[in-house]
Structure 1
Amino acid sequence: MQAAARGREGQANTFAGMILDRVSEHRDDPAWVAARLAEPGTRFIVVGPSGETLKVANGDALWWLDDITRQQHLAQLTPTLLGVADDRAYFMLVADAELMKALADGAAATSVDLRRAGLSFNPFDAGLFAYAKGLAHWQNETRHCAYCGAPGVLVASGHRVRCTSESCGRLHFPRTDAAIIVIVEHEGACLLGRQRTWPPGRFSTLAGFIEPGESLEDAVRREVAEEAGVEVLDVHYHSSQPWPMPASLMVGFTAFARSRDIRYRDQELEEARWFTPEDIRQGIADGSLLVSPSVSVSYRLLEHWLADRGYDLGAMVAAVTR
C-alpha cells in the first residue's frame, strides 16, 4: 500500500494522501484485469487532452463512470489500470476534447484542472487524479521508441510502452522528473524569491530540477547558489509531493544559510528577499505579500517554518480572505 507523504506536523501534502494498492503484479494478467473491469463496483476516471477531468456539477468530487456507462459511451477507449482501494478497482480512460464535452453535457458534469481539484477534492480523489494525469501525459508523450523511432504500443495495462520493431522491442517506463524545493533559514528569517511572470507580490520557496549525477542535497545547494547566490550549509529532508504538471516529483527540504548575502547569478529570479515571521504576517495582512497556494508543498514548507516560531500561516491567509 502507498502511504502518504507527510510534513513534520503529520498533515499530508496535497496529492499525497491517497491510499491505493497499485496491484502492479496484476498488470500483465489480462484475465485478472478483465475480471475487475466487469465488476459492478469498478470506477473509471476520464482524463482529457489538457490533463483535465470531470467533476460533479454541484460539488467538489470526481465524476466517476461505472462499467455500464463506459460500455455505452467510451467502449472504443482502452482502460489503464490504476489500482484497488477497499476492494474497488479504479481505471483511467483518456478521451479527446469532443468526447469530454459530450460526457460533460450528458452527465451535467464540469471540467476541472488539477490545481483547482487539489484545493477542493478529498485526498483520495485529488491523489487519484494526480496519478491519472501524470500517467496520461506520459502515454501521450511516448508514442514512439526513443531508441529507433518505431511506433510504440501500450502494454502492462497502460504502464509500459513496447517498441513494435522486431529488431528493437525495447520497453519504455513512465518517467518522473525529480525537483527539489527548499525553505532556507538564517537567524530567524527565511529566503523567498519571485519570478517576473508571477502576480505582483508573489514570493515562494526556491526550487529546481535535479541534474544527472547529482544528489538531492547537492541540488539544493546548487539551485540556491545559482538563483540567489546564497551559500547553503545543512540540508534536511522535509516531505515530498507528486506534481504531475506535467511530470514532476517535488522533494521538499529545509536548509540553513551561511549568511544573508544575496548575489544573483542567473536571471531566473526577479527578486529574492529574507523575510522574518513578522514580515510575512504584515505583508499578508496589508496585501503586499502573496504566498504560494495551499495546494503546493511550498506552502507547507513555509507553514511548518512559521509554526516552529509560533505563527499560523493558515490563520494569516484566512484573515484576509474572509
Structure 2
Amino acid sequence: MTPLRSLLLSRSTVDRDGERRTRPDLLAELWAEDATRVLRVRPDGSAPVRARDGGGSTLDLVAPRAVAPAPPEDSPVVYLGREEDGTAHVAVEVPDDQDVADGAGWPVAPGGEQWQGLRTLAPDLDDRDAGLLVEAVGVLNWHRVHPCCPRCGARTSITSAGWTRACRVDGSEHYPRTDPAVIMAVVDPDDRVLLAHNAMWPEGRYSALAGFVEPGEPLEAAVRREVLEEVGVVVGDVVYRGSQPWPFPASLMLGFTASATTSEIRVDDVEIAAARWFSRAELAAAVTSGEVLLPPPTSIALRLVESWYREEAGEELPGRPGW
C-alpha cells in the first residue's frame, strides 16, 4: 500500500533547531532581533491570518517589538525553529481580547488580519505556516494545562526556550506530552469499508474508527481492541499507512488499514451510535446525495477512506466532503 497523501497537519519546512533550546538567553536574543517573526496564538488556538496573493491564507507574523518590548513573563513563549534563510520563529500566547494597541502590553496595531483556528485554516496554509501553527498550538496547549509539577503540585517555570517546565521545589523537569491514538479504515473480505457515526457528531457524519493507545499496548493490538470494543468486529492483519499530529489538545494520529475477519456489527451505544459497511458505489452515492458527510480535509480519516476508494475505483470520491 502506498503512503497516505495530503496529510495537511503533517507538513513543515522549518527546522525545529532543538540543540539551541538549552541556551538560557535564547528567547531574549531572538526577541531583540527585528528579523525574528512572532506567531501570536490565543488560548482557543486561533491565530491571525491575512489573505495570500494568489489565494489561500498566510499567518500574520510580526516583529517582536510589535508585540512587547521583551519576551512576556506572564505568557508562554516558545522557540519554534529556523528557516533555511536563518529566519527564527517564536510563538507567544496572547489574551483573547487584546489583539490591538490598548496600553496593556500587547501593542499590536490593527490591520485587517482575521483570527481563525487550525481546523479551518489548515487547507489554506502553505507548508511552512501549517507546520508552525501545528507546533505552536500543540506546545502552548501543554503549557496551559500543565502549570504545576505532577510530583509535588508546586508551580513550575518555563525553561529550554519554552520546551520544558522545571519544578521550583523539587527541581524535576517535565516535557510536552503526546498521546498516541490509532485510526483505521477497516475493510472486509468483500472490500467494503466500515464507517461509524459518533453519538456526538452532526447527523449523517461518518468516519473511520479511532481510539487511544493504552499503556504497554502495541499499536496493532490497539487497532484490534478498539474495533472489537466499538463495533464488535474482529480484525486480523493491520497495515500502517501514515501519521499526523492532532493538537486538540495533544494527540498523534497513527493511521492503519485493518482487515476484518467478521462482518457482524454490534455498536457499543456509548461512543458509537451507528456503523455501516459501504461498497465504493454505495459510499459514492451516499456522499453525492448528502446522506453521508465524510470527515474534513484536515483529518487523516478522510485520507484513509479516499485511499481505499482509489485503490479500485481509480478516481476521487465525488463531491466535497462535509465538515
Fold shared by both chains (TM-score > 0.5): yes
The sequence identity of aligned pairs, in percent, is 34
1:70: how far off? 2.8
Trace 1:152-301 onto structure 2 (pairs within 5 A).
Answer: 152-165=156-169, 168-186=170-188, 187-301=190-304
2:45 corresponds to which letter in structure 1?
A: G
Trace 1:49-64 onto structure 2 (pairs within 5 A).
Answer: 49-56=43-50, 60-64=57-61
Equivalences, count: 311
User: Does the 8 Å CA contact 1:303/1:313 hold for their aligned counterparts?
Assistant: yes
Question: Does residue 18 of the first structure (1) align with residue 12 of the second (2)?
Answer: yes
1:294: how far off? 1.1
Secondary structure at 2:229 match in 1: helix
- Residue 149 of structure 2 corresponds to 145
Trace 1:76-155 onto structure 2 (pairs within 5 A).
Answer: 79-86=77-84, 87-100=86-99, 102=101, 106-155=110-159
Judging changes above 3 Å, is the alpha-carbon distance between structure 1 residues 276 and 195 closer, same or farther for their aligned structure 2 residues? same
1:101: how far off? 5.4
User: Does the 8 Å CA contact 2:27/2:71 hold for their aligned counterparts?
Assistant: no
1:72: how far off? 5.4
- Residue 3 of structure 1 corresponds to none
User: Does the 8 Å CA contact 1:231/1:258 hold for their aligned counterparts?
Assistant: yes
Secondary structure at 2:277 match in 1: strand
Deviations 1:78-120 (A, max 9, x none): 6311111122111011111132355776132111011001121
CA distance in 1, matches of 2:34, 2:109: 24
CA distance in 1, matches of 2:24, 2:152: 28
Note the residue ranges of structure 2 that are not aligned, 5 or more in a row.
102-106
Judging changes above 3 Å, is the alpha-carbon distance between structure 1 residues 129 and 143 closer, same or farther for their aligned structure 2 residues? same
Choose between structure 1 and 2: higher helix proportion.
1
TM-score (norm 2): 0.90
CA distance in 2, matches of 1:289, 1:309: 20
Question: Does residue 70 of the first structure (1) align with residue 72 of the second (2)?
Answer: no
Deviates more, 1:199-208 or 1:11-20: 11-20
Secondary structure at 1:192 match in 2: strand
Judging changes above 3 Å, is the alpha-carbon distance between structure 1 residues 313 and 290 closer, same or farther for their aligned structure 2 residues? farther
User: Does the 8 Å CA contact 1:207/1:223 hold for their aligned counterparts?
Assistant: yes
Judging changes above 3 Å, is the alpha-carbon distance between structure 1 residues 104 and 113 closer, same or farther for their aligned structure 2 residues? farther
Deviates more, 1:48-57 or 1:173-182: 48-57
